[in-house]
Amino acid sequence: MPRVDADELVTDPHPASGDPDTDTGPLHGTRPRPPAAHVVHRGPGPLDRRGLRWLRVDALGLTVAVAFGSLAMTPSLIPRDWMVQGLATGLSAAAGYGVGTTLWFLIRRTHVGLRLVAHARGWVPRRVRLVAWPILLVASAVVVAIALVAGVHWQRELAVLVGMEPPTLLGYSRAVPLGIVVAILPIALVRLVRHADHVLVRGLRRYARLPRRIAAAVAVVLLAVILSAFLNQVVLGGTLAVVDQAFSGVNDETYPGFDQPTDPRRSGSPASLVPWQTLGKEGRRFVAAGLDPAILARAGNRPAVEPIRAYVGLESAPDAQSRADLAVAELDREGAFARPVVAVITTTGTGWVDDPVSNSLEAMYGGNTAMVATQYSYLPSWLSFLFDGPRAEEAGRLLIDAVHARIEAIPEGQPRPRMLVFGESLGSQGSEAAFSSLADVRANTDGALWVGPPNSNRLWSQIVTRRDPGSPEILPTYSDGLVVRFAADGGSATVAQTPPTPWITPHVLYLQHASDPVVWWSPRLLWERPDWLVERRGPDVLGAMSWYPVITFWQVTIDLVNAVDVPPGHGHVYAGEVLDGWAAIGAPQGWTAADTARVQQALVGTSASTAAG
């Protein structure tokens, strides 16, 4: 049998105790002992000293980390700068290191793997083993350099595709050192946990006199409980409390130039049931904003009417049901149910309503509309996306149900307004939650427009999963487009004619971009290749984008951070398409493409949205 270095058969360089037979489980490793006759003892390596053991690197872990980090430089949905790329590369490399070390741990803990390692040591000359680490480090640097150059090339192509400025190689190369730092942090955290586990096992064996296996099991349970409590109570709970307090302070602010309205047809006015101070920052902007009457008259091709805007803030009533009831009372006070259209908007994040959403519909009707929205959170959209899904669903369901019930209460024979529902991003999830099916949507609304729906939307997911054979996930056709349709761009006439089959009223329309990470992000990306990366790609998605387990999940997760930092028509920016959406689902009778063009022309030059949710 070939001679084997004893220390090379020890996965854990610093066992939990001084006992030669210590076996403390998967967190701190089993220490198999080869027959003494076949062991050659070496002196300690340069990183075996107590203060330097933290710097030791697993060869297989490093190899997989370099592979994962390099693959993270392949293109994703959104163009990214060097900082975002460094974050993506670092997280992917850390995940790769974990995969590699886990594989090596499993190999070394099997009898066959142990024998293979022992024989391999005999096959490989010692001279080769001495230069193996320098070769691995040089090879890793070469692989990373090649991946960086290819990554810059892909980022330039993607930037040109969406109309952004391409990055330079020199500037983009800063992603590499940043990625190394990002990768080191979780690895160091895991090593710190392992060290704490070793200390805990040692203490249990020394002071509680527990057998090594029982001590290992008790240590794992205690450490899991301590970490869980720390993460939930201190890290997550404390962070959310600080964030919530910070954004609640922001909620008390008011955008410059948005003063309390005096018109009684606006919430927050002196005649309103909802005090101005309770509307929140986004609510005050919503009720104080609006188009000039001259623009409304020109767009609607009729005398302008002052639009009705009702809004209830998070501090206007104690709970979601009370806020929905107050919103309906406010609509009644303002005379909203005498208007031809009442639009129920489920907000995003902080209570934000995008200006093109309200301006487009009001311009179509010359201002003769009513809109209502409520606030359910202080948090911005990206935090609400992670933590406020249930609150968004509750707020959307209660408000839509309350408005629908009020319209249904109008006596037969009296005119009733058309009720349109709208939701963007997380707002679409909240709006969808009011309905159990497409049939329910058709029975209780006069049209629904849902923009940039998250992949977790229940109704959206069911429709996309059951799409007609041959239609792609990025732009599916469901039941020949009879009830619901999907659009990525193009005018309302194009939407109505795609597919070229009847579209019965009320219309239900989803707007979604092929490059919108909010639409395509899902935990299933960890282990499953999505259809949108198998079928034909969207016009703003590079053909070089591929699916890799774990890596693509991190890629698209990080894309969420800058999903709105792209020009309109890409990512999660739908401002230029909302007018076409409204025209497709809720235009006045006899509306034509020329009318849409007139409204679009009237809206040109109006101020852009002042917030991003």
Structure tokens at 408: 């249904």
Does the pLDDT value for residue 222 go beyond 70? Answer: yes
Per DSSP, 271 falls in state T
Choice among 28-42, 153-167, 435-449 with the minimum mean pLDDT? 28-42
- Among 218, 210, 137, 147, smallest CA distance to 176 is for 147
Stated as kind and residue range, the H or E segment containing 582 is helix 578-586
The confidence band for 15, taking pLDDT boundaries of 50, 70 and 90, is very low
For β-strands 448-451 and 4-5, DSSP reports them as unpaired
Predicted confidence at residue 613, as pLDDT, reads: 46
Rounded to the nearest 5 degrees, what angle is found at the Cα of 487, between the Cα atoms of 486 and 490?
155
Stated as kind and residue range, the H or E segment containing 508 is strand 508-511
Predicted confidence at residue 206, as pLDDT, reads: 87
Predicted confidence at residue 5, as pLDDT, reads: 38
Quick one: how many helices (H) and strands (E) in the chain? Answer: 22, 9
Distances (CA, A) of 548 to 141, 552, 566: 22, 5, 25
Interatomic CA distance for residues 606 and 145, integer angstroms = 47
282-286 mean pLDDT: 96
Say which residues have a Cβ less than 8 Å from residue 94's Cβ, sequence separation at least 6. 65, 182, 183, 185, 186, 187
- Among 356, 374, 518, smallest CA distance to 434 is for 374
Does the pLDDT value for residue 612 go beyond 60? Answer: no
The confidence band for 205, taking pLDDT boundaries of 50, 70 and 90, is confident
Stated as kind and residue range, the H or E segment containing 374 is strand 370-374
The residue with tokens 């075996």 is 48
The confidence band for 219, taking pLDDT boundaries of 50, 70 and 90, is confident
Predicted confidence at residue 497, as pLDDT, reads: 65
Predicted confidence at residue 586, as pLDDT, reads: 94
Interatomic CA distance for residues 343 and 10, integer angstroms = 68
Question: Whole-number mean pLDDT of the chain?
Answer: 85
Predicted confidence at residue 138, as pLDDT, reads: 93
At 478-499, the pLDDT tens digits run 999 999 999 987 666 667 667 8
At 98-128, the pLDDT tens digits run 999 998 888 877 776 667 666 666 676 777 7
Where do the domains of the chain lie?
4-190, 255-521+560-603
Please check whether residue 28 is in contact with residue 63, taking contact to mean a CB–CB distance below 8 angstroms. no
Predicted confidence at residue 484, as pLDDT, reads: 96
Does the pLDDT value for residue 260 go beyond 90? Answer: yes
At 497-525, the pLDDT tens digits run 678 889 999 999 999 999 999 999 999 99
- Max alpha carbon distance in the chain (Å)? 101
Give the rounded percent of residues in the chain with a pLDDT score beyond 70: 83
205-227 mean pLDDT: 85
| Torsion angle of C-alpha atoms 147, 150, 153, 157, degrees rounded to 10 | -100
